Structure 1
Amino acid sequence: MEWNGKVVVVTGGTRGVGAGIARAFAKAGAEVVVCARRDPEVPLDGVEFMPADLRDPDAVQGLFAALPRLDVLVNNVGGTPYRLLAQADAERHARVIELNLLAPLTASLAAYDLLRRAKGSVVMIGSVSGTRPSPGSAAYGAAKAGLENLARSMAVEWAPDVRVNTLVVGMVRTEQAHLHYGGEDGMTAVAGTVPLGRLAEPSDVGEAAVFLASDAAGYLSGASLLVHGGGERPAFLDAATANRDGEESRES
Structure 2
Amino acid sequence: MSGTPGLEGRVAVVTGGTRGVGAGIARAFLRAGAQVIVCARRPPGEPVTGEGATARFLPADLREPAAADGLFDRIAQEYGRVDTLVNNAGGTPFRLLHEATAARHARVLELNLLAPLTTSLAAHRLMRAQPSGGSIVMIGSVSGTRPSPGTAAYGAAKAAVENLARTMAVEWAPAVRVNTLVLGMVRTASAHLHYGGEAGIEAVARTVPAGRLAEPDEVGEAAVYLASDRAAYITGASLLVHGGGERPAFLAAADVNHRTDEEP
Partner residue in 2 for 1:66 = 74
SS at match of 2:240: strand
Counterpart of 1:186 (choices 197, 200, 211) is 200
List structure 1 runs of 4+ shifted beyond 4 angstroms. 247-250
| 1:239 positional shift | 1.1
Q: Which residue of 1 aligns with 2:226?
A: 212
How many Å separate the matches in 1 of 2:259 and 2:185? 33
The answer to whether residue 74 in structure 2 is matched with residue 86 in structure 1 is no
Matched, 1:43 2:47: yes
* Contiguous gaps of at least 5 residues in structure 1: none
Residue 12 of structure 2: SS of its match in structure 1? Answer: strand
Cα distance in structure 1, aligned partners of 2:263 and 2:216: 38
Deviation at 1:249, TM superposition (A): 8.2
In the superposition, the TM-score normalised over structure 1's length comes to: 0.96
Change in Cα spacing, 1:186 to 1:51, as seen in structure 2 (3 Å) is same
The correspondence for 1:112, drawn from 102, 119, 124, is 124
Q: CA RMSD in A?
A: 1.4
- Note if 1:197 corresponds to 2:196: no
Identify the range of structure 1 (112-121 vs 159-168) with the bigger mean alpha-carbon deviation.
Answer: 112-121
- Residue equivalent to 1:154: 168
The Cα of 1:245 is off from its aligned counterpart by 3.8
Task: Name 1:101's counterpart in structure 2.
Answer: 113
Task: Give the Cα separation in 2 of the matches to 1:244 and 1:62.
Answer: 60
- 1:155-176 per-residue CA deviation (whole Å, 9 max, x = no partner) reads 0000000000000000001111
Which residue matches 1:24? 28
Q: Distance in 2 between matches of 1:106 and 1:200?
A: 28
Moved more, 113-122 or 140-149: 113-122
| Other structure's SS at 1:232 match | coil
Q: Shift in Å at residue 43 of structure 1?
A: 1.6
Percent identity of paired positions between Structure 1 and Structure 2: 71
**CA-to-aligned-CA distance 1:215-248 (integer Å, 9 cap, x gap):** 1111100000000001000000111256634146
Q: TM-score, normalized by length of structure 2?
A: 0.92
1:77 and 2:94 equivalent?
Answer: no
2:179 — aligned with what?
165
